[in-house]
Structure 1
């Protein structure tokens, strides 16, 4: 597998936006911070790059007047984020559709956790309104982050980038919430801060991958159980028809099981290794031999009990299947 290296300097995902407020970030160890208090906005931000393809960041920005924020996306990225209500409101204008939205009760009113993929590359304009707090605590991933994981752990992280735009199950959402709550600037600045942040982010991604894999297996198992049920119900229906002296065809079985003929045939073949049509013919002929073994029944009566309209039709079908006529078979086996 060839790893896709980051074509984008990850700072391009946030630096141009901060510059529009006059906010510049400067490095203090592994953490970069900045504050602003001017005629455009008040607030502060901090970021910690974890790798060339992943950063954690947090910002608190309050515009002093209504404005449009120009957001430029050089390449798609995935994100999990705790956001304030104004931040959430402006996402659609930036071409972002939040997924896995979960309201929180935190220090800021109407905060929520969400995930998303920003794949509208290019420039988007988002309206910001004076006096509203635009807060976000986030982890951002470029696609190359998951390429690296897939290279190190083949098959374990396939499709995880795309999962940020899809519904998650409760355990994955809980892992995201827990991780975001553990991201804070004070902890990032302490000894081992970078290793700590990297560890909780990798744990979060691992939990997401585990949840996706578990529920994929559950869906596959459920599908298998449904398929087995269809095959079992089809065979039971055929046996009941034979008991009643009726011939049941594939179309009738499909209709009574509320499925299509093609799905029924494919499922039956996959679960039994035998086509449904072959199964019906085989069981009908096996039942014919059971009846022929009863010398009290005439050939005509056997044909009738198997649902053949005429004895000649039964004789022809039996000879075609076994290579001998019903009369000959009976004479050889009774």
Structure 2
């Protein structure tokens, strides 16, 4: 409930609740509310991790345009949000650039009221971590100079180098946690992971170091990991992009830069590798093997296998086209 959220942090979400007509629900951790069906559909969860640190998740779609005002205190906001949510941020707080379907942003709010507008049909979704200046003052293990560097790093309006590994961490912080007994512990642990990654990024930049992997390389590696584990599913590039909260075109370009091959090509290669092993080492039928490596129809599998190896699966099983080990 609202009273469970630290009072200094209530100004970051209670005005939204009131202006959008959100109805509060029972929750074990923080404040959980939903929008009235006549207005649209959506949910807002606010959970304070300290007197000066708040996590919020909101996902809202309205049936008609709505204007509202936010009343933020002087603070830093670190967010993982949809394009429509980014476009609500007033000019000057973040630099203009081409936004993806999902974006990592950070900016400083100076306490000035912010006029916002949700347009009918827009998909507004944001995971946000809001921190007052006192939160940085209390961070253990950092010197005063390092705390200031961290604050400045997150304040920059043109920040484009936030560590990409925090995106999937944000994505795991969902409203269902407000109902779980362990939800507060889980949320605190993920926020600490997010902060640790940001601290590392801050001081690698301050020391003039290049990050070990560029953001697109990290995304490509995550996509490869998904394929390696789940190539037997009906994976598509669009689905993988959605799971990684990036645009399909961006993902395909990043993957090609990292691995010098197309993402779809890699999916097919992994499936063919597994199919070859199954043909050589099991007695499964062609149809069974096709389904085992992600093909709904045996005919599609046979065509793909033939293009890849130059022989049919049946002939491959008999020994044709195999790499002869010596």
Alpha-carbon deviation of 1:41? 3.5
Determine helix, strand or coil for the equivalent of 1:62: strand
Note the 1:282-321 alignment, pairs <5 A.
Answer: none
What 5-or-longer segments of structure 2 have no aligned partner? 1-5, 210-326
Taking the aligned partners of 1:112 and 1:132, their CA distance within structure 2 comes to 16
Q: How many residues align?
A: 202
Alignment of structure 1 residues 1-334 onto 2, 5 Å: 9-73=8-72, 75-92=73-90, 96-97=93-94, 103=100, 110-119=101-110, 121-149=111-139, 153-155=142-144, 156-166=146-156, 172-218=162-208
TM-score by length of 1: 0.53
Shift of 1:31: 3.4
Larger radius of gyration: 1
Give the CA deviation at 1:124.
2.6
Runs of 4+ in 1 over 6 A off after TM superposition: 99-102
Query: Could you give the per-residue CA deviations for residues 229-254 of structure 1, whole angstroms, max 9, x where no partner exists?
Result: xxxxxxxxxxxxxxxxxxxxxxxxxx
Residues 52-90 of structure 1, C-alpha deviations (whole Å, 9 max, x = no match): 1112111121222223211222x2221222222221222
Contact kept, 8 Å, 1:80 with 1:176, in 2: the verdict is: no
* Change in CA separation of 1:187 and 1:70 when aligned onto 2, cut-off 3 Å: closer
Question: Is the contact made by 2:93 and 2:107 (CA closer than 8 Å) also made in structure 1?
Answer: yes
Deviations 1:178-233 (A, max 9, x none): 321221223453332212211221222122222222332237xxxxxxxxxxxxxx
Unaligned 5+ segments in structure 1 are 1-6, 104-109, 220-334
Q: 1:127 Cα deviation (Å)?
A: 2.5
- Counterparts of 2:93 and 2:205, CA distance in 1: 26
TM (norm. structure 2) is 0.55
Report deviation, 1:175.
Answer: 3.1
Aligned partner of residue 29 in structure 1, secondary structure = coil
Distance in 2, matches of 1:165 and 1:145, equals 14
Any conservation in 1 of the 2:32–2:178 contact (CA below 8 Å)? no
Partner SS for 1:135: strand
Instruction: Check 1:8–1:100 CA distance in 2 against 1; reply closer, same or farther (3 A cut).
Output: farther
